[in-house]
């Protein structure tokens, strides 16, 4: 199964303008991305945005309507699923219920023509990697959800695929387990050096695990970047809103040049802040991260607000405030250091560096 013709490239997967239609429904509208060798790449977006569809196109369960998908430079359109060197961890795991854990994990190796003894040796090795060595003879039905998830991972890793596709693999686990498995998964990815294409709708999961993230919505890629870029420099309203919490203010941008915008804030103060690619002068949306807003005495800072409510969150407190001009604004303060303003208190708000960003639509 080696392709001598393919030119080796640094990209494990190249997705080139892929369109996927189901009858009248278009699930993917010209999606492009490059996934590097050994990269932990995440597809993040709300349910129904086309993440599973894109994975199924890579795995070969769906044909693309337009565009191309290349694996290490080779166009895989003509290859059926069983000829693609890609393995999938399915959302519901799809472990074969009539086989033992060992048989499940050696299944792919045997289909590739490995001898039974080699396949079992490799399967045991991978089961050790996911810490399930002693469960080899169990049936999937006799394992807990977390253990099944790891068997599914082992089964997909055993044939050493070029790319591993994971469709919301943690969504069936409870919160505690999910957090434990996250770091485990990340460690396995580093250890094996296999490119992971990881699908999730959970932004926290995406931010903590990924090398890079592609944020998707309604069949379009909204932004591709590192977790830090996505969080700190969202390119549009959708990304800013979807990743983390943010305040969106309608503002007027007097001037946008060299990625810096001159903004006229509600209440008349002026602010100079970074602008997303494609943001233009005129009416626009300003993203203000709640944790980067500071409180000051009334009359000071760039915005004036009144406290309407508190929400205690353990380490933080959320202040729901209202600006003089009527907009609601959330401020997040760390508990402990300073006193939290009372309901009805008037205060000034300081926009710290990195808090504000002018977005494109």
Partner 1 sequence: MAKPVDLRRFTGFRAITWLCLFVLYAPLVIVAIYSFNDSTSITRWGGFSLKWYVDVFTGPEAPKFRDAAINSFTIAIGAAVCATLIATAAAVAMNRAGRFRGKTASLALINLPLMVPEIVTAVASLVFFITIGFKTGLLTIFIAHIVFCIPFAYLPISARMQSVPDTYEQAAMDLYATPWEAFRLVLLPLMVPGILSGFLLAFIISLDDFLITNFVKGAGVETLPTAIFGSVKQGIKPNIMAISTLLLGVSVVFVTLSWIIGRAGQSKR
Ligand X SMILES: Nc1ncnc2c1ncn2[C@@H]1O[C@H](COP(=O)(O)OP(=O)(O)O)[C@@H](O)[C@H]1O
> Residue 359 forms beta bridges with which residues?
285
* 169 is a site residue for partner 1 (CB under 8 A): no
**Minimum CB distance to partner 1 smaller for 192 or for 306:** 192
Q: Is 336 in the site for partner 1 (CB under 8 A)?
A: no
Q: Residue 82 — φ and ψ, nearest 5°?
A: -75, 0
- Taking CB positions, which residue lies at the least distance from ligand X? 52
Q: How far is CA 188 from the centre of its chain?
A: 18
Question: Binding segment for partner 1 among 74-82, 185-193, 285-293, 324-332 (CB under 8 A)?
Answer: 74-82
- Give residue for tokens 């599914």: 152
Buried b / exposed e over 252-287, threshold 16 CB at 10 Å, is ebeebeeeebbbebbeeeebebebbeebeeeebbbb
Site string for ligand X, 29-58 (x = CB under 6 A): ----------------x-xxxxxxx-----
Instruction: Spell out the residues 6+ positions from residue 346 whose beta carbon is closer than 8 angstroms to its own.
Output: 298, 304, 305, 306, 307
Using CB under 6 A, pick the residue from 10, 22, 111, 125 that binds ligand X: 22
Interacting residue with partner 1 among 75, 111, 312, 352 (CB under 8 A):
111
Burial of 353 (0-12, 13-18, 19+ CB in 10 A): exposed
Residue 314 as a binder of partner 1 (CB under 8 A): the answer is no
**Is residue 89 near ligand X by the rule CB under 6 A?**
no
CA pseudo-torsion sign 303, 305, 307, 308: negative
Residue 293: closest CA among 302, 280, 306, 281: 302
How far apart, in whole angstroms, are the C-alpha atoms of residue 182 and residue 163?
18
22 lies in the site for partner 1, by CB under 8 A = no
Does position 23 bind partner 1 by CB under 8 A?
no
Binding of ligand X by 25 (CB under 6 A): yes
Q: Which is nearer to partner 1, 62 or 205 (CB)?
A: 62
Q: Toward ligand X, which CB reaches closer, 53 or 74?
A: 53
Query: Order of strands, edge to edge, in the sheet holding 328-334?
Result: 293-296, 346-351, 303-312, 316-323, 328-334
Pick one of 31, 43, 49, 59: the residue that binds partner 1 (CB under 8 A).
Answer: 59
By CB under 8 A, name the binding residues for partner 1. 59-61, 80-83, 86-88, 90, 92, 94-98, 107-108, 111-112, 141, 155-156, 159
The binding site for ligand X (CB under 6 A) comprises 22, 25, 27, 45, 47-53
């Amino acid at each position: 199964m080696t392709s001598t013709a393919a030119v080796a490239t640094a990209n494990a997967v190249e997705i080139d303008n892929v369109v996927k239609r189901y009858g009248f429904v278009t699930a993917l509208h010209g999606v492009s991305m490059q996934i590097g060798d050994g990269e932990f790449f995440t597809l993040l977006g709300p349910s129904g945005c086309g993440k599973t569809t894109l994975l199924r196109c890579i795995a070969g369960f769906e044909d693309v309507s337009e565009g191309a998908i290349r694996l290490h430079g080779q166009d895989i359109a003509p290859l059926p699923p069983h000829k693609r060197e890609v393995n999938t961890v399915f959302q519901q795991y799809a472990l074969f219920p009539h086989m033992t854990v060992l048989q499940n994990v050696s299944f792919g190796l045997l289909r590739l023509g490995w001898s039974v003894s080699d396949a079992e040796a490799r399967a045991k090795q991978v089961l050790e990697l996911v810490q399930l060595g002693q469960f080899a003879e169990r049936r999937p039905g006799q394992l807990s959800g977390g253990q099944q998830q790891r068997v599914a991972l082992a089964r997909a890793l055993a044939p050493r695929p070029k790319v591993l596709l994971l469709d919301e693999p943690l969504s069936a686990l409870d919160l505690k387990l999910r957090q434990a498995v996250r770091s485990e998964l990340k460690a396995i990815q580093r250890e094996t050096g296999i490119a992971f294409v990881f699908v999730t709708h959970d932004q926290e999961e995406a931010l903590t695990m990924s090398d890079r993230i592609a944020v998707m919505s309604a069949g379009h890629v909204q932004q591709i970047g590192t977790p830090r870029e996505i969080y700190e420099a969202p390119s549009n309203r959708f990304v800013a809103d979807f990743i983390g919490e943010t305040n969106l203010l309608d503002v007027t941008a007097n001037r946008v040049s060299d990625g810096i915008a001159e903004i006229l804030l509600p209440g008349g103060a002026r602010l100079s802040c970074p602008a997303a690619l494609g943001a233009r002068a005129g009416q626009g949306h300003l993203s203000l991260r709640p944790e980067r807003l500071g409180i000051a005495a009334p009359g000071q800072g760039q915005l004036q607000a009144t406290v309407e409510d508190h929400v205690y969150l353990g380490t933080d407190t959320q202040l729901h405030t209202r600006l003089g001009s009527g907009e609601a604004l959330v401020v997040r303060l760390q508990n402990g250091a300073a006193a939290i303003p009372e309901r009805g208190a008037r205060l000034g708000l300081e926009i710290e560096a990195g808090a504000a960003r002018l977005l494109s639509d």
